[in-house]
Amino acid sequence: MRWLVRLIAGLCCIVMLYLSAAFIGAFVPGRTASVVVGDDVTIKLIAGPIHYDLLLPATPETRQAFGFLNEFGVPVETSDWIVVGWGSQAFYTATGGYQDLDIGPIFRAVTGDSAVFRFDAISADLTGFGDAVPMSNAQYAQLRGQILQGVMRDETAGVMPVAGAGFTATDVFLEARGRFSILRTCNVWIGEVLRGAGVKMGAWTPTPYAVTLSRWWFG
């Protein structure tokens, strides 16, 4: 029994060290791209039970850039916002909330997994809802570009949907470039693309609360 107690104690220490590092990483300035800042548009950060999603205002340029999603039933042309999320293929496609947690996808995500994007579109008045992030047109173009570059393409330049995956009648999962791991989580990706669009964020934001703290500190 002593070995089991030591194992549990060791795992608890690892978790505490991870969470402590996430706390520190939220406040350490990350490398931010040099882009002209402004407030031409406002994107939203929406906190879910497990991670953050990006909500992109459906400007004409955004509808054109993400028009390829229409063929998968994502109503880009008639919606106000494009929903974008990134994560582990095994975990993200099977886990909509805490009630869906399962040891298999969790183990796959922790030990490393291929990445996917989730795209959806909604029409709603989001005034006062979520974390508003103002951007110049240049910043917004930079953000869109990072997302589009992250979408995996096949030899014919076509996107690669994940068959049978989805949480709503209008969403789609697409294979993404890069790998998901406990060190590069969906929330780390949020920090990366925001910094890449000239938004100040912490250097490492692996948890939802790290993103929240980082936005509070730098926003």
User: Does residue 50 lie in a domain region?
Assistant: yes
User: Does residue 79 lie in a domain region?
Assistant: yes
Q: Are 47 and 212 in contact (CB under 8 A)?
A: yes
- pLDDT score at 195: 98
User: Does residue 81 lie in a domain region?
Assistant: yes
What pTM was computed for the model?
0.91
Q: pLDDT of 111-169, one tens digit each?
A: 668 999 999 999 999 888 899 999 999 999 999 999 999 999 999 989 999 988 888 99
H/E element holding 207?
none
Q: Are 214 and 194 in contact (CB under 8 A)?
A: no
- pLDDT score at 12: 77
Name which of 132, 146, 151, 150 is nearest 196 in CA terms: 146
User: Does residue 72 lie in a domain region?
Assistant: yes
- pLDDT score at 197: 98
User: Does residue 176 lie in a domain region?
Assistant: yes
User: Does residue 116 lie in a domain region?
Assistant: yes
Structure tokens at 111: 């030990």
User: Does residue 170 lie in a domain region?
Assistant: yes
The predicted model gives 182-186 an average pLDDT of 93
Boundaries of domain holding 129? 35-181
User: Does residue 123 lie in a domain region?
Assistant: yes
- pLDDT score at 50: 80
Number of domains composing the chain: 1
CB neighbours of residue 169 within 10 Å: 8
Could you give the percent of the chain with pLDDT greater than 90?
73
- pLDDT score at 168: 92
The predicted model gives 168-191 an average pLDDT of 95
Q: pLDDT of 70-86, one tens digit each?
A: 999 999 999 999 999 99
Lowest mean pLDDT among 5-9, 54-58, 167-171: 5-9
Q: Is the pLDDT of residue 98 over 50?
A: no
- pLDDT score at 90: 85
* Average pLDDT score, the chain: 90
DSSP secondary structure, 130-164, as one string: SEEEEE-HHHHHHHHHHHHHHB-B-TTS-B-B-TT
Q: How do the residues of the chain divide into helix, strand and coil, expressed in percent and rounded to 5?
A: 40, 25, 35
Q: Is the pLDDT of residue 6 over 70?
A: no
Q: Which residue has the higher pLDDT, 94 or 42?
A: 42
